[in-house]
């Protein structure tokens, strides 16, 4: 129904001749009128102002609630997006700042760290091996020997040997093992210095029982090793060996371990032993012989001499205090002369085995004869006396007695404890020339 036709059905309510423009009058304008009723187009229903207001208010509330929910959701979404963008932007700015400014800050010492200094004396195990190598290595030398021989066809055939030594005086005196130079029975000895220079050497002194020797090269101002005190050693101390194991391809090899034992005795033949030795688990191999055994201060405490075949970590060295008086006398006088006690003697065990007699003690040195006008004779020693101690050290064998004599020089005095007629007696001996 169009607008014109609908007018015939309209009822006049408060106003006559109401036009379409009047119907479209704004609600607020109708509120300002004093009429109680308004006309509703295209309906036969008459509504009051209160009904329209109520409906209008209800619709407004629903619209507002719907719009409010949408606005809130959009606000939450906007806030979340804004926060996310802020976080991303902040991270980018931070990374960029670190990239551009961190190196400069470090260079300007903005981050300060405390430098730790290693004190070798307080942290003796930290860099001790490097420190010892730097100190002692220049004084360690290689030793090669040549023995001229002839074969069955009378053709010349040379035999060579290899060992190690240590410089004990800057004028060219070198300490090594006697067996390295074949107990002096060699035709030529060459010494290889730390810088590689090869110099021919000569034998100054050697002793097979001690297994020590001193050779000399014609050179001066050589680096000298520092000698320590082997009497102060304790089991468990650091031990470092330097030598030429298995040939010059491994020259000046350093191996490390500890002092495993003291006063060790090892057999060197069916009738001979070496005693008072230092035992170490620092690796000692053929070619190491004659090289130094060092403590944590780089001091020579022994001369490496032997290892037990078939055993690992069983190396032995001669205490440096045995060699010290020999070295000192050679450096001072150019030669060494061992003091003599002036007796002919044998081990107690050998005497009992040969004679079939029982002796009142099981160990010691049995004096068979005292030589006239010797140190022993002047001190009052007699035949059949048994020496059991010299200078406070046990003297169980003839070899121990001889080794003890190397620690004395002419003019020194020593106390001997002997057994005479089943009684112990102390006799003071002065070593005369």
Active site residues: 179, 211, 289
Token code pair at residue 422: 């089943």
CB 151 within 8 Å of CB 157: yes
Q: Which of 171, 212, 172 is nearest to 191 (CA)?
A: 172
Strand 198-207 to strand 300-307: parallel, antiparallel, or no bridges (unpaired)?
A: unpaired
Kindly state the helix (H) or strand (E) to which residue 16 belongs, with its residue range.
none
CA 44 – CA 292 distance, rounded (Å): 130
Token code pair at residue 182: 């074949």
CA 41 – CA 44 distance, rounded (Å): 8
Kindly state the helix (H) or strand (E) to which residue 6 belongs, with its residue range.
helix 3-7
Cα 304-309-312 angle, rounded to 5 deg: 80
CB burial string 262-277: b at 16+ within 10 A, e below = eebeeeeeeeeebebb
CB 200 within 8 Å of CB 172: no
CA 286 – CA 403 distance, rounded (Å): 24
Helices (H), 47-164: 49-107, 128-136
User: What are the CA-CA distances from residue 423 to residues 11, 361, 408 (Å)?
Assistant: 163, 10, 27
User: What are the CA-CA distances from residue 58 to residues 55, 86, 298, 386, 415 (Å)?
Assistant: 5, 41, 104, 135, 130
Cβ partners under 8 Å of residue 415, min gap 6: 389, 390, 391, 392, 426, 427, 428, 429
């Amino acid at each position: 129904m169009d607008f014109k036709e609908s007018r015939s059905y309209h009822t006049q309510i408060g106003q006559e001749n109401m036009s379409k423009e009047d119907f479209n009058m704004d609600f607020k304008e109708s509120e300002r009128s004093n009429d109680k009723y308004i006309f509703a187009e295209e309906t036969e229903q008459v509504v009051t102002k209160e009904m329209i207001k109520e409906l209008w208010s209800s619709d407004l509330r629903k619209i507002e609630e719907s719009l409010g929910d949408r606005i809130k959701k959009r606000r939450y979404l906007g806030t979340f997006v804004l926060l996310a963008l802020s976080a991303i932007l902040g991270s980018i700015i931070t990374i960029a700042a670190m990239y551009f400014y961190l190196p400069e800050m470090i260079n300007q010492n903005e981050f300060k760290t405390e430098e730790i200094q290693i004190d070798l004396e307080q942290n003796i195990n930290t860099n001790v091996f490097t420190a010892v190598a730097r100190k002692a290595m220049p004084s360690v030398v290689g030793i090669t020997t040549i023995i001229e021989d002839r074969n069955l066809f009378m053709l010349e055939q040379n035999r060579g040997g290899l060992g190690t030594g240590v410089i004990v005086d800057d004028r060219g005196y070198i300490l090594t093992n006697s067996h390295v130079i074949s107990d002096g029975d060699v035709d030529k000895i060459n010494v290889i210095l730390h810088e590689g220079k090869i110099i021919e050497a000569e034998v100054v002194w050697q002793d097979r029982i001690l297994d020590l020797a001193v050779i000399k090269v014609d050179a001066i101002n050589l680096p000298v090793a520092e000698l320590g005190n082997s009497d102060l050693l304790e089991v468990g101390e650091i031990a470092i060996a330097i030598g030429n194991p298995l040939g010059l391809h491994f020259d000046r090899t350093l191996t490390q371990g500890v002092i495993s034992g003291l006063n060790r005795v090892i057999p060197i033949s069916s009738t001979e032993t070496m005693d008072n030795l230092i035992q170490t688990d620092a690796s000692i191999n053929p070619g190491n012989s004659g090289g130094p055994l060092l403590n944590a201060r780089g001091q020579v405490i022994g001369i490496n001499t032997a290892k037990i075949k078939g055993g690992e970590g069983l190396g032995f060295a001669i205490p440096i205090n045995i060699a010290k008086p020999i070295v000192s006398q050679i450096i001072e006088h150019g030669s060494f002369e061992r003091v003599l006690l002036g007796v002919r003697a044998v081990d107690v065990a050998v005497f009992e085995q040969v004679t079939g007699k029982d002796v009142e003690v099981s160990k010691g040195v049995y004096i068979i004869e005292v030589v006239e006008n010797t140190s022993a004779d002047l001190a009052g020693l007699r035949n059949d006396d048994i020496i059991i101690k010299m200078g406070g050290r046990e003297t169980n064998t003839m070899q121990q007695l001889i080794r003890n004599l190397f620690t004395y020089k002419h003019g020194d005095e020593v106390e001997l404890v002997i057994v005479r007629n089943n009684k112990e007696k102390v006799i003071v001996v002065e070593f005369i020339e």
